[in-house]
Amino acid sequence: MTFAQFYTIESVASITGGVCYGKENLSIKTLSIDSRSLQLPGETLFFALVGERHDGHLYIKDLYKKGVRAFVVNNLESVDSKQFPNAAFVLVPDTLRALQNLAQNHRKNFLYPVFGITGSNGKTITKEWLYQLLNESYSIVRSPKSYNSQVGVPISVWHMNNEVNLAIFEAGISQPGEMDQLSKIIQPTFGIFTHLGDAHRENFKSEVQKLEEKIKLFSSCNSIVYCSDKKLVDESLKARYGRDKELISWSRNHAANLKIVSEEIKGSRTFIKAKYKKKSKEINLSFTDKASIDNAITCWLCLLNLNVDDKTIKEGFLKLEPVAMRLEIKEGIGDCTLINDYYNSDLDSLGIALDLMNQQQNDKRKTLILSDIFQSGYTNRQLYKAISKLLEQKKINRLIGIGEGISSQSKLFKCDASFYGSTDVFLADLNRNHFKDEIILIKGARNFHFERISNALQYKAHQTVLEVNLNAMVHNLNYFRSLLNPDTKLIVMVKAFSYGSGSTEIANLLQHHRVDYLAVAIADEGVELRNAGITIPIIVMNPEYHSFDTMIEYSLEPEIYNQAICLEFEKALKRNGVRNYPIHIKLDTGMNRLGFVQKDMDTLLSVIVKNNHFFISSVFSHLAGADEQQHNDFTAQQINLFTKWSDQILSQFPYHIDRHILNSAGIERFPQAQFDMVRLGIGLYGISCVHQEKLMNVSSLKTAISQIKEVSKENTVGYGRKGHLQSDARIGVIPIGYADGFNRKLGNGLGKVLVNGQAAPVVGNICMDMSMIDLTNTDAKEGDLVQIFGDDYPVSILAEQLDTIPYEILTTISRRVKRVYFQG
């Protein structure tokens, strides 16, 4: 049985020891444990997992509405069969164990080699690098991302099928007994042990017990690759598996299958020479940190054991790409570089983060902001003594310790160090002037909320602000919702920094108000939202080839607008070992921008029909003139073409595909063409072509008067001496210029601003950071508020003055302009 074929609910019940209720003849082929990420609802089996803080049974009703019909549950008390007339339920004692048993049974269908990787660190990187190095020789299925847990492993193994000939899975444990189950699910034939470190040490009696638990993964293996330099690892593997398995080791210090002879770092590259079966071998890497070098050597030994030739190996390592982890590098205040790593906190990951820090500009001062490290298995003194030594080795100049644990060991640190009991105390004492021209690593446990420190140290805007009225935005959202049929889904456009209003804050608001999709222009915008905790589906409207891997990593769904991008995205899905990935097909019905046209239809269908790497989530088009009555006939023609072409596509697929063509203007003017979804854009931000009176202004751009001076009529104002005066004048200087989004064409009297309710014309050329306004007839003083646009001076007025549209005004407001959110 392959992944491409279906399991019946009856067979699922038999495998898991469950009892069927409802529609027993349903078939499924995909598994889900997360109600937020559905791919093919009609073919999905949802496992209602139950934990300390979650209960999957609570989402069954919502999933049923979205099209899911098959569920594995551990109780039927919360399930009213009358609410789910077409559903099938498999009742089991334990839904997690049922998921694991189903995956274990699925694994038995395949006889090709399976790599099983475990260790304290380096599992995901080793897996991804092996994939990069072997994917030209093998068809490979592997764990998505770092799916190595009790839940992640069965989801990974479920992807095994007869179309591949090698599998690579990673397995991680945090307490005794967990590896027994993972070993049964993966059943690896080839084992890889990466590294023994301190992660999760607190849950084991000793380092020996933790190691013994981890290597249980290898019970079914024929061969095991590892580094023998750690005595405990070497002795444990030999004692347990030395008699019946082939142990394949590498070492820097003593005899091994792969004996490292030399390692030389030159610039950004590492050159390694070694002996393997008495023959000299060499590779070179574009990495210099020890963790990457160790992982690369482990991969090297695996390739040698697979008899990959030296030329292929050398070429493979030259092309080896870094694996994107969770560290992020941002621009900070005072020419600082920020490295944010406040997702995990243990001694090993600290070392990795410090290595990344040292790969940045080495001439900069290095500051570490570090929280308490919990559950390390050490006493506070042992832990922070080791950290002190590590900071000395990595040549860290300054430490800022936050937390009671690290503060209690302050005397152990030799570098310039200061300590605070909590994040709140640190922020209250923060002086931003104390951070200049340095690299700052922000490393801490989640519950210290170090994202607040990162926000405080990021490059900030000046006193000019864009005020965003969240209540007004909700009002506009509800107005457009009132125009929709009850079942019509809603996509909201948050591209271009949410039309200038700010990305994460607006996305959080929309997620809270349960819109169905968000749409961004490029992948980076979507990544920013994911990093801010946005979980609802996100469409990328202008995907670029180089961003495909990032999109897959962050679950961003691409617009597919021609055959080339379709094929390239398919390659990326294969490269990442991903199937059934949602895509959105763009049809060009008259905009003459992106999209497939009629002559492309046969070619498109030949690529996407029966392609199991992706599925079509929606088909859509873009109206060219929905906001203008003069184009009504053309709009109707577009809608008719879209209906005809999308019907042709939908007829080729057994599952439901959403359709959408209406934008904000279309929602108001062509409600008959709602199809399954609509896209709300500029209307959310308070702009309507039909009923402006029903919308509220969302954004107000404000600044303040920096200085007022008396200028005689004989003088001029500003660059190029363009500001000629008809009489003596009071000139106000305001801190906003074209670098902030105040268009330079508004200079020399064309544009006006409001000061104390009175219009003040712009004098002279608008500068990059400043502008001058005529206050002669205005009662104003320094510090008074200036409104560029807002409730009393609509952005549409500026648009008319510039002969443009409000979109352009809003989207050109620079990010250095601080956004202030309020509920008015």
Inter-residue contact 747 to 719 (CB < 8 Å): no
Strands 7-8 and 723-724: unpaired
217 alpha carbon, distance to own chain's centre: 31
Beta strand spans in 602-696 (E)? 614-621, 658-660, 677-680
Instruction: Of 344, 418, 395, give the one whose Cα is nearest residue 121.
Output: 344
The alpha carbon dihedral of 793, 794, 796, 799 has a sign of: positive
Instruction: Of 658, 581, 666, 582, give the one whose Cα is nearest residue 623.
Output: 666
- Strand order from edge to edge, sheet including 30-32: 19-22, 88-91, 70-73, 44-47, 30-32
The alpha carbon dihedral of 358, 361, 365, 369 has a sign of: negative
36 marked as part of a ligand binding site? no
Distance CA 181, CA 168 (A): 17
Q: Would you give the DSSP letter of residue 793?
A: B
Inter-residue contact 524 to 330 (CB < 8 Å): no
Measured in degrees and rounded to the nearest 5, phi and psi for residue 358 equal: -75, -15
Record the tokens describing residue 561, joined without a space. Answer: 């607008």
Instruction: Of 465, 459, 460, give the one whose Cα is nearest residue 734.
Output: 465
Residue at token pair 């990326």: 572
Record the tokens describing residue 611, joined without a space. Answer: 């392609």
Which helix (H) or strand (E) is 520 found in, with range?
strand 517-520
325 marked as part of a ligand binding site? no
The alpha carbon dihedral of 782, 785, 787, 793 has a sign of: negative
Which helix (H) or strand (E) is 420 found in, with range?
strand 416-420
Give Cα separations from 605 to 427, 536, 601, 651 (angstroms): 57, 28, 6, 11
Burial class (CB in 10 A: 0-12, 13-18, 19+), 108: exposed
Among residues 61, 389, 610, 719, the one annotated as catalytic is: 719
Q: At what angle do helices 310-318 and 123-134 cross, to 10 degrees?
A: 120
Residue 495 bears catalytic tag: yes
Inter-residue contact 216 to 191 (CB < 8 Å): no
Inter-residue contact 521 to 497 (CB < 8 Å): no
Residue at token pair 């607006």: 506
Inter-residue contact 391 to 415 (CB < 8 Å): yes
Three-class SS of residue 737? coil
Distance CA 681, CA 491 (A): 9
Measured in degrees and rounded to the nearest 5, phi and psi for residue 605 equal: -65, -35
In degrees, rounded to 5, the angle at the alpha carbon of residue 32 between the alpha carbons of residues 30 and 37 is 110
> Using alpha carbons only, how large is the chain's radius of gyration in Å?
31
Distance CA 296, CA 282 (A): 12
Q: Which residues pair with 540 in a beta bridge?
A: 520, 558
Instruction: Of 21, 45, 25, give the one whose Cα is nearest residue 34.
Output: 45
Record the tokens describing residue 126, joined without a space. Answer: 């080793």
Give Cα separations from 169 to 4, 292, 602 (angstroms): 20, 19, 38
Q: At what angle do helices 95-107 and 178-186 cross, to 10 degrees?
A: 30
Among residues 210, 245, 366, 495, the one annotated as catalytic is: 495
Record the tokens describing residue 511, joined without a space. Answer: 């997620």
Three-class SS of residue 2? coil
Instruction: Of 565, 552, 541, 445, give the one whose Cα is nearest residue 492.
Output: 541
Annotated binding site: 593, 768
Give binding residues for substrate as ranges: 593, 768
Which residues are designated catalytic? 495, 719
